[in-house]
Structure 1
Amino acid sequence: MTQTQYTLEGLPVPAIIATLSYEEIRLNTINKLVAIDPTYSGLLESDPAIKVIEAASYDDLVLRQRVNDAARANLLFFARGADLDHLAAFYDVLRLVGETDSALQTRTILAIQGRSTGGTEEQYKYVARTADVRVKDVAVYQVNGGPKLRVALLSAVNGGVPDAPMLAAVTAAVTAPGVRAINDVIEVVSATQAPQNIVLDVWLLPNAPLAIIDSMETLIRSAWFDESGIGFDLNPSWITARVHLPGVSRVVVLSPAGPVVENDNHAATLGTITVNFAGRSR
């Protein structure tokens, strides 16, 4: 299964953020000049009036961009840096030391969704991610339909496997008075499964450097870190897409032979990555 979670990425660009074009502003200003004085004919690039219009159009573009930036600073999906800090603080969410903008956005969404008397899935996720900045993803689920809950963690370091201090910090946070619903029995566990080894054969174009082969393990691991999460499937087609660089003629993934399908509460981790140079072809 693939991960399903609430995001802001599917929303259209808000109407308050205008699409800007210097040429459109410049042309509109020239048209205004001609409308004011229909007899004006000095529309050459060297004309002083055109130079003034170009300078004014650029200033207008900068001003409109500043308005766009101000609008973005007040929208959770677009806000970055200090603007995001202030927006998150409105919801009583403060940036953790070393926390990225993306992680802070996610925690803020969870804080908004999880506001209740306690015990909601979103609230537990928010508290877990707040307990340790290294928590990359969280799944919360019932065990056998009873009051026992599991909080499964995916780490941003150590190949996704949470260490003992992380598990302890999250356990203390989600079981604290005022957080844990009175009937919930909570167990904090690792979401990671057995590491998946990757083996692939790669053919290069005749003039492509062999250094492309050497870069592929780093590319795969970096892409997996950026894109994967709990419930994210490891598909051979995903691997192929990440390493089909300029200069690559063909890629065949030998392992995994088929999709590694994860449920919503587990996460695949990467083991060894072997990239075999299979030759050159067109």
Structure 2
Amino acid sequence: MSRFASIDLSRLPAPDAVEPLDFETILAARKAALRVRLDAAGLLPDWNPDSESDPLVKLLEEASYRELLLRQRINDGVRAVMLATATGATLDVLAANFSTSRQIVEAGDPKAVPPRPPVYETDARLRSRVQLAFEALSTAGPEGAYVYHALNADPRVSDVAVTSPQPGHVILTILSSEGDGTPSSSLLSTVAASMKGRFGDGVRPFTDCLQVRAGTKLEYSVEAALDLYDGPDSEVVRAASEASVTAFTRVQRRLGEPVTLDGLYKALRVDGVRKVHLSKPSADLEPGETGWAQCTSIRVVRQGGGHGG
């Protein structure tokens, strides 16, 4: 979420400690082990492990299923202690090791009819703050520390850019998770207030002149026509393409993040799409370091008839 290099946890491969599981593999291994033991004891020489009605096979199937559940529980336990894979309350406990807690986005109302439960920040956002926790330990005002404290200031902070146009002058650019991303004056004030403090106990280093401001919005729309392969599910393909490009525009809604034509083409070309005709935008969008690209509308239509595969 910040401009400095941080690890994208979602792209990490599954750790070696998490083993792939397959019931049939476990069952086959148990059958083979039992066959060896029976032969060694001179028992049941005519036993057929492929007979699904055999009582021993039924026992092995039950035991194999229990082993599968046990191994799955071990896999879950391994994932629970890793920041990249922990979720829910387990992630909350892991985050507490870094003095970071899940933020409340909306307090909810237990007296409402029906009652409204509180809304908390997502696992992904909490993970990103935990990644920045060690940055906050520095007293020299590094970029990561400013990002960490800005995200902690309010759960409405979606992204932060830290720039320094001149020595001792730091600008925090804020992107909001609400509306079109433009932060309200109250949100900017909240972030600014969180940085203040008496000498020695504030977030902002004593020698930094700090400014908190909104970024620059670059609006754009997406219009595309699709050539599809022959098939009865043309509307399903069109809808899938539209959903894919919608997800892409949401991911790119970050400060300093460009929206490229090749990225749009890749998002639009789902299974069943033969060719994409993209009319808007006509060029890559570069919002700049303190700006963001805001998609205002998406229109994806089918063009012409189908084509053979």
Task: Give the equivalent residue in structure 2 for 1:124.
Answer: 146
Greater shift in the superposed pair: 126-135 or 15-24: 15-24
Task: Give the equivalent residue in structure 1 for 2:157.
Answer: 135
Task: Give the equivalent residue in structure 1 for 2:61.
Answer: 54
Query: Identity of counterpart residues, as a percentage?
Result: 29
| 2:173 corresponds to 1:152 | yes
Task: Give the equivalent residue in structure 2 for 1:80.
Answer: 87
Counterpart-to-counterpart distance in 1, 2:298 and 2:72 = 45
Task: Give the equivalent residue in structure 1 for 2:112.
Answer: none
Counterpart-to-counterpart distance in 2, 1:60 and 1:89 = 33
Deviation at 1:262, TM superposition (A): 3.9
| 2:187 corresponds to 1:166 | yes
Cα distance change on mapping 1:161 and 1:216 into 2, 3 Å:
farther
Counterpart-to-counterpart distance in 1, 2:84 and 2:244 = 27
1:93 to 100, 109, 117: 100
Task: Give the equivalent residue in structure 2 for 1:241.
Answer: 266
Deviations 1:93-152 (A, max 9, x none): 110112000000001111133322251211111111111212111111111x32111111
Matches within 5 A, 1:138-217: 138-143=160-165, 145-177=166-198, 178-203=202-227
Task: Give the equivalent residue in structure 1 for 2:70.
Answer: 63
| 2:133 corresponds to 1:108 | no
Deviations 1:62-87 (A, max 9, x none): 01111111111111110000000111
SS of residue matched to 2:170: strand
Unaligned runs of 5+ in 2: 105-119
Greater shift in the superposed pair: 81-90 or 14-23: 14-23
Task: Give the equivalent residue in structure 2 for 1:252.
Answer: 277
Counterpart-to-counterpart distance in 2, 1:118 and 1:4 = 16
Deviation at 1:203, TM superposition (A): 4.3
Deviation at 1:267, TM superposition (A): 1.8
Cα distance change on mapping 1:22 and 1:214 into 2, 3 Å:
closer
Deviations 1:184-220 (A, max 9, x none): 1111122333312333344456766568768876654
Q: CA RMSD in A?
A: 2.6
| 2:256 corresponds to 1:231 | yes
Counterpart-to-counterpart distance in 2, 1:113 and 1:6 = 11
Deviations 1:196-250 (A, max 9, x none): 2333344456766568768876654443223542222111222233333455443
TM-score by length of 2: 0.80
Cα distance change on mapping 1:227 and 1:36 into 2, 3 Å:
farther
- Amino acid of the residue matched to residue 170 of structure 1? V
| 2:15 corresponds to 1:14 | yes
Counterpart-to-counterpart distance in 2, 1:11 and 1:204 = 34
Cα distance change on mapping 1:153 and 1:221 into 2, 3 Å:
farther
Greater shift in the superposed pair: 268-277 or 233-242: 268-277
**Conserved? CA contact 1:193–1:267, under 8 Å:** yes
Greater shift in the superposed pair: 41-50 or 68-77: 41-50
Deviation at 1:51, TM superposition (A): 0.9
**Conserved? CA contact 1:175–1:186, under 8 Å:** no
SS of residue matched to 1:93: coil
TM-score by length of 1: 0.86
Matches within 5 A, 1:269-280: 269-275=294-300, 278-280=303-305
Counterpart-to-counterpart distance in 1, 2:28 and 2:291 = 56
Counterpart-to-counterpart distance in 2, 1:208 and 1:280 = 13
Greater shift in the superposed pair: 178-187 or 272-281: 272-281
SS of residue matched to 2:212: strand
Greater shift in the superposed pair: 155-164 or 45-54: 155-164
Counterpart-to-counterpart distance in 1, 2:170 and 2:74 = 47
| 2:286 corresponds to 1:261 | yes
SS of residue matched to 2:293: coil
Unaligned runs of 5+ in 1: none
Counterpart-to-counterpart distance in 1, 2:297 and 2:32 = 64
